[in-house]
Chain A
Amino acid sequence: MKKYNLSILKIFKAFISLLLFSLIAPHAFAIETIEISGGGTKQINIAVMPYKEVGNDKANSLMHQIIAADLYRSGFFRPLEVNGLINKPFVLSEINYPEMTAIEAQVMTLGQFEINNNRLKVNWFLVDVNKKTILTTMEFSGPAAQYRAIAHKISDTIYEKLTGIPGVFSTKISYISKNKGRYSLNVADADGFNIQSVVSSPQPIISARWSPDATKIAYVSFEKKKPIIYIQSLVTGQRTVLANFKGNNSSPSWSPDGRRLAIVLTYNANSQIYLIDADGSNLKPLTQSTHIDTEPVWSPDGKSIYFTSDRGGRPQIYKVSSTGGEPQRLSFEGNQNLNPNVSPDGKILSYVTQDEGRFRVVLHDLQTGQITKITDGPFDEAPKFSPNGHVILYSHKVRGSGELSTVSIDGVVHQSFNIQADDIREPAWGPFAK
């Protein structure tokens, strides 16, 4: 009982801290906007200087490392090597502009922070090196335990300031890990840190998908020796069975309004797509073929569902109205195409294409029909768009075990996650918190 009270107290403290963190709104005043040539395809050279901890002689390097890693992973930035610089400014007056120009910095960020009574306060700047002007200056504060979250918030602010696109560094991802024969569905920060297990089982767990409001995850568990779909709340930890019909129950996909899911059922036949309300009621068939129809995903406007079908002999991507009707085939290149995912603006599909035995992630522009391979394989799986549509998170197999990686949608910047587990697979990217 005591233990219970203690944890309530801890939760209450966390609540208050977060409240304060959010109430101290950042005071942003944009001074000027930097021009980015090439419409974002060219990377911005940024010098991320070590933020200095007040009252501590040496600059604490962790915060600027988190920010630099975030910005690098986005594909829009090239963080410069700053360790060799003689001058490491943390206030504006100390910036040595010729030195910054010499390392070809276009922008730089610098700042200082202090930790008092377990509270962290950061004062930071984003500076246009060529024009010698302040682009952004802000003060962020929060519980010291939110150190990484505050660093990601700074990354988000820098990213949005210079690209005009909301950053995704404060969002969450999920993935399935397998360790010593035990499967676990985990949630982590977008950079793979702060890992929390949501559910674990001795039997496989697959196909986890975030609800559009980020409070729930639907997933498939084999704990009853066959695939059954569950929905679990990330707020209370409570879970319910969404679908447990005869045969397989799998491949959940939330409608954009979160009220329904597309799921795949088999009964005693092949996989077919159904629609079901999030409370498990109102089951209706969507596709009715004698072939495999699976991996449904909704278009952001809720009008269409993309899916994988082998009705043409091999797995290919199809599109059908979410009210039913005749599906239309979309993928024609490659031996097999599967695992579709739609960009948040609905304009691009990403999926896995198999050619000459290699499984690679491609982007399929739905307006022009242009297809671009953005990974090299040989065993890449489960591509998922970031909530801002500019990065793809996917899994790939290396010597029998899976790892997670991101690739910018221009295919230029690849980054692997360093998560310790025997096997990691099936990533999903949580939405922006609304």
Chain B
Amino acid sequence: MKKSLLLATLLSLFLLGCSSTPINDAPKPSGPSSSASDDEKDLDLASLRDPNNILSKRSIYFDYDKDVVKAEYKDLVAAHAKYVASHPKAKMTLTGNTDDRGSREYNLSLGQKRSVSVKKSMNVLGAQDTQIETVSFGEERADTNCKDDACYGKDRRVDISYEKE
């Protein structure tokens, strides 16, 4: 009884007296980095940005509850794998995503499975694990107003991004 009283009191202390913990996005570092020009050369950032270069394409789309990289993305995956293999300083993040159907935690795992699937395809082509981090946002970035598969399909993807680009 004493314990429950203390607990209720302590909880009320927080709930009555405190405000929430607000988290804000960290400000982006401003100003030119001293090694920006080195990065530009070492990482060949121009080819990542060139809209005519396949490396500017960054999304791989999947079927419902599937993590198989479809044949139509073989060239895209191969181009990024080759880029990573030939630029030892490059660091790539593969972020998996899903549509908003199903549980959030399962979708987080499914998005991860997709990013791992893309990573494995790239490993075969010589891209090293040390240069790649696989993460997932699950359904957290999904369009919550989808009514058909064309809409859901846009959410089922892995996005490729590079550090310093």
Contacts and interface: CB of A to CB of B under 8 A. Distances in A.
Interface string A13-33: 011001100100000000000
A266 B105 CA distance: 13
B23 A202 contact: yes
A426 B11 contact: no
Nearest to B134: A268
Given A19-B5, A198-B20, A201-B23, A235 B134 contact: no
Nearest to B112: A266
A202 B137 CA distance: 14
B106 A433 contact: no
Contacts of A328: none
Interface in A32-68: none
Nearest to B15: A196
Contacts of B65: 314-315, 336
A406 interface: no
A233 B14 CA distance: 9
A14 B12 contact: yes
Contacts of A433: 4, 7-8, 11
Contact of B21 (A206, A237, A336): A237
Given A200-B23, A246-B133, A206 B145 contact: no
Given A206-B140, A248-B135, A223 B23 contact: yes
Interface in B36-76: 65
Interface centre among B65, B101, B103, B140 (most CB of A within 10 A): B103
Interface in A380-432: 381-382, 397, 399-401, 423, 425-426
B119 A264 contact: no
Contacts of B5: 18-19, 22
A308 B106 contact: yes
Nearest to A336: B102
A425 B135 CA distance: 22
Given A14-B12, A207-B104, A197 B116 contact: no
A292 B144 contact: no
Contacts of B136: 227, 248, 266
Interface string B10-25: 1111111111111111
A137 interface: no
Given A187-B15, A214-B7, A214-B11, A338 B103 contact: yes
B7 A213 contact: yes
A294 B109 contact: yes
Contact of A215 (B7, B17, B18, B24): B7
Chain B: number of interface residues, binned into ranges: 35 or more
Contacts of A202: 23-25
A292 B111 CA distance: 10
A11 interface: yes
Contacts of B23: 199-203, 221, 223
Interface string A257-297: 00000001010111100000000000000000000101100
Contacts of A222: 137, 140
B113 A11 contact: no
A315 B7 CA distance: 39
Interface string A189-214: 00000101111111110110000011
Contacts of B15: 187, 194, 196, 234
B137 to A, nearest CB: 7
A266 B134 contact: yes
B129 to A, nearest CB: 6
B112 A271 contact: yes
B3 interface: yes
B79 interface: no
Given A196-B15, A248-B108, A294-B108, A352 B103 contact: yes
Given A187-B15, A235-B10, A338-B102, A200 B22 contact: yes
A270 B117 CA distance: 9
Contacts of B133: 246-247, 268
A234 to B, nearest CB: 5
Given A271-B108, A294-B106, A359-B101, A234 B14 contact: yes
A288 B129 CA distance: 20
A246 B115 CA distance: 14
Given A15-B12, A295-B105, 10 more contacts: A10-B17, A197-B20, A206-B138, A223-B23, A227-B135, A247-B133, A247-B134, A248-B135, A308-B106, A338-B102
25 contacts: A199-B20, A199-B22, A200-B22, A200-B23, A202-B23, A202-B24, A202-B25, A206-B140, A214-B11, A215-B7, A215-B10, A234-B11, A236-B14, A239-B21, A247-B134, A248-B108, A266-B109, A268-B116, A268-B119, A271-B108, A338-B102, A354-B102, A359-B101, A397-B144, A433-B8
